[in-house]
């Protein structure tokens, strides 16, 4: 994870002002001047696939905004298994618990190579108190986390495994993604609360039924309508 923004040679600081995802993330309400004022302590990190952003139970000095890639938040269970409780995509924020607590509640791991901004909690707390639009954005992000958690309960943890898998594929919006966009069978299991083997069997069955196809580029093409049918059945 290489830091960029605080490196003087890096042109990222000016880039930050025109960041594609800036409008979707926390600092949407800030002027360029305001932005520059608080940019100093913010690092832009490149997170390779499978590397750990932070660990459950660690002291939590920073939160992270996702610029690109895919981050999974997982929880280690008492019996040694683990469960993925959220997937973070560009525009999402990780580690918000840092604003009201001391430690991270999950372990954050890059499912795909990701590009994130690391923001010290103090910066966000200060901005939250001084800028009402940042504050509003923060509330919205928080609600977003709740909504996604609800989705994991109602869509990915309810009903037969086949329907859950269909909903997962729909959630991932599998069409047009790069090959590595798809999580491993093991991750699918951790997402849906089923075993790796069952995940594999269902995916194989989907392929046989023509619901999914691996393009010659390695990409996965889904029959959205067919999956939606399974998801509701």
Residue 96 to residue 128: CA distance in whole angstroms: 12
Q: Could you please report the per-residue DSSP string of 167-189?
A: HHHHHHT-TT--GGGSPPHHHHH
Looking at the Cβ atoms of 51 and 82, the one nearer to a second copy is: 82
Instruction: For the segment 22-81, give every residue that binds a second copy (CB under 8 A).
Output: 75, 77-79, 81
- Residue 91 Cβ, how far from a second copy at the closest point, in Å? 15
Q: How far is the CB of 230 from a second copy (least distance, A)?
A: 11
Q: Are 108 and 72 in contact (CB under 8 A)?
A: yes
**Per-residue contact flags (x/-) with DNA for residues 157 to 176, judged by CB under 7 A:** ---xxx--------------
- We find the least distance from the C-beta atom of residue 150 to a second copy, in angstroms, to be 5
Question: Does 203 sit near DNA (CB under 7 A)?
Answer: yes
Q: How far is the CB of 80 from DNA (least distance, A)?
A: 11
Q: In Å, how far from its chain's centre is CA 18?
A: 22
Among 5, 104, 28, CA closest to 59: 104
Q: Which residue has the tokens 């008492």?
A: 78
Expressed in percent and rounded to 5, the helix, strand and coil fractions of the chain are: 45, 25, 30
Neighbours of 177 (CB within 10 A): 16
User: Using CB under 7 A as the criterion, which residues of the chain lie in contact with DNA when the complex forms?
Assistant: 160-162, 184-186, 193-198, 200-204, 207
User: Using CB under 8 A as the criterion, which residues of the chain lie in contact with a second copy when the complex forms?
Assistant: 75, 77-79, 81, 83, 85, 96-97, 99-101, 105-106, 128-129, 132, 135-136, 138-140, 142-143, 145-147, 149-150, 152-154, 157-159, 193, 231-233
């Amino acid at each position: 994870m290489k830091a960029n923004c605080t490196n003087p040679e890096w042109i990222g600081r000016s880039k930050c002002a025109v960041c594609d995802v800036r409008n979707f993330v926390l600092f949407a309400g800030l002027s360029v001047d305001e932005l520059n004022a608080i940019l100093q302590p913010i690092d832009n990190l490149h997170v390779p696939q499978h590397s750990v952003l932070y660990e459950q139970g660690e002291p939590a000095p920073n939160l992270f905004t996702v610029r690109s890639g895919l981050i999974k938040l997982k929880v280690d269970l008492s019996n040694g298994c683990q469960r993925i409780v959220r997937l973070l995509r560009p525009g999402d924020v990780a580690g918000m618990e840092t604003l009201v607590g001391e430690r991270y509640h999950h372990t954050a791991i890059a499912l795909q190579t990701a590009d994130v901004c690391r923001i010290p909690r103090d910066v966000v707390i200060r901005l939250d108190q001084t800028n009402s639009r940042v504050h509003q954005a923060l509330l919205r992000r928080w609600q977003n986390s709740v909504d996604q958690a609800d989705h994991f309960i109602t869509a990915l943890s309810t009903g037969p495994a086949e329907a859950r898998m269909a909903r997962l594929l729909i959630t991932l919006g599998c069409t047009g993604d790069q090959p590595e966009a798809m999580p491993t069978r093991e991750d699918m299991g951790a997402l849906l609360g089923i075993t790796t083997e069952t995940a594999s069997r269902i995916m194989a069955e989907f392929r046989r039924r023509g619901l999914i196809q691996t393009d010659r580029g390695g990409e996965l093409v889904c029959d959205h309508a067919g999956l939606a049918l399974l998801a509701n059945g």
